[in-house]
Amino acid sequence: MEYVFLFITLYFQIFFLVTFLDNSDVFSHSKRKEKEEKKYDFPVVSLIIPCWNEEKTVVSTVESIQKLNYPQDKIEIIMVDDGSSDSTWNEMQKLKDIKNVVLMKKDNGGKHTANNLGIEIATGDYIATIDADTILEKNALNIIIGEFLNDPELDSVGSTILVRDPKTIVQYAQMIEYQMFSFTKTLLALVHGALVVPGAFSVYKKEVFEKIGVFKDAHKLEDLEITFRMQRHGMKVGQTHHALAYTNAPDTFIKLWNQRRRWGHGFLKNSYDYKKMFFSKANHNFGFFTLPMSLFSYIAISISFVITIFILLKNIFRIIIEVNLVGWKGFENLFARLFEFSVGPAAFIYLVILSCIFFLIMFGKHIVNERSINPLPIISFFVLYSLFIPVLVIKNIYDSITTSNIKWR
């Protein structure tokens, strides 16, 4: 069993490495400068901003759109208050006199219903979805639209989402995670296996919704489900790490736990709903690589955590027996002995996984052009996620089996 596990782990890592080596020019910083400076006959884009209790950020999101290097007369901003219970609607009123802003209000029905209401009235050939706590980098929209114009086969393009102004240890850990995501999402898109077009900021051709329908509740993960649906219909899902958007990440452990419970539960439930896509020839790399890899990562994390706890308990039990036999003498390095691992396939798997994580961290930093190496975010990532993720994954698996829905607000 260990050797099968080791083979699968190595297979996925080698696949990523080969994909990167074959497309290394894509990650050149000079490419981003070319994309920023290239001029197009830009089309009209409808940007939909669903809002639910976003009184602190909704105005700054629109202000960032107004600063885009994209013709403002080609931008339509549709803001939908999804039954907020705070002062979001009052804050939105500050924007009512802006020519290209449309304000709408509805009863609370979920983010997908707010997006769908915006789609109904959108006039642009392209539709962007933006979270109301997201700030767009000034070239983000023109870079994404440039991707469409350079490749007419593209049906959607996702941006790179980064953590906005991290302040807490929890946010620093997420900063590293988001940078890693920016690298892996780009690699998956290069082999036509993009897992998700992020809801924080992505752009679709309007005809996508006309062909396959609009957003669904999808276990509170509408952006993942519509990506699955697009992949099932053979649509081309793109991703660019050159278009940057900054979002407010959870600042406490409890908020992060609730967010990731929703993400994990939604992923597992949607994976079950689209189970026929696993190893489907019609879905190519998405069916043969992305879905199996994503599900395997859940299994791998769970198994690795259980093995670690088993070894820890076994060592504790062994130390207790030895202490009873010979006393405490010779146990100066007690902590180190608790985590003794025998050299074998399991140890090699841990080494491979650890090496892969360092690889992803470094390349994640490279493609978002972060040159400074601050040890605090990296340490925060390893300390928090080594304990947090395994427990969360096991909880998500349990919830997905026993619960049809979860509360996350």
Q: What is the pLDDT of residue 27?
A: 78
pLDDT digit of tens for each residue in the chain (409 aa)?
556 666 677 777 778 888 888 887 887 777 667 776 777 889 999 999 999 999 999 999 999 999 999 999 999 999 999 999 999 999 999 999 999 999 999 999 999 999 999 999 999 999 999 999 999 999 999 999 999 999 999 999 999 999 999 999 999 999 999 999 999 999 999 999 999 999 999 999 999 999 999 999 999 999 999 999 999 999 999 999 999 999 999 999 999 999 999 999 999 999 999 999 999 999 999 999 999 999 888 777 777 677 767 767 777 777 677 666 666 655 555 555 555 555 556 666 667 777 777 888 888 888 888 777 788 898 898 888 888 888 888 888 888 888 767 765 5
Domain span holding position 394: 1-37+151-409
Q: Is position 87 within any domain?
A: no
Tokens of 68: 């885009």
Closest CA to 383 of 169, 144, 117: 169
Q: What is the pLDDT of residue 362?
A: 85
Q: What is the pLDDT of residue 399?
A: 86
Q: Is position 371 within any domain?
A: yes
Distance CA 294, CA 184 (A): 12
Number of domains within the chain: 1
Q: Is position 243 within any domain?
A: yes
Which residues have CB under 8 Å from 322's CB, separation 6+?
331
In a 3-state reduction of DSSP, which class is residue 273? helix
Closest CA to 298 of 392, 403, 182, 170: 392
Q: Is position 141 within any domain?
A: no
With left for phi above 0 and alpha for psi between -120 and 50, is residue 165 left, alpha or beta? Answer: left
With left for phi above 0 and alpha for psi between -120 and 50, is residue 330 left, alpha or beta? Answer: left
Q: Is position 346 within any domain?
A: yes
Q: Is position 124 within any domain?
A: no
Distance CA 165, CA 1 (A): 44
Distance CA 270, CA 360 (A): 26
Q: Is position 86 within any domain?
A: no
Which residues have CB under 8 Å from 121's CB, separation 6+?
78, 102, 104
Q: Is position 345 within any domain?
A: yes
pTM: 0.88
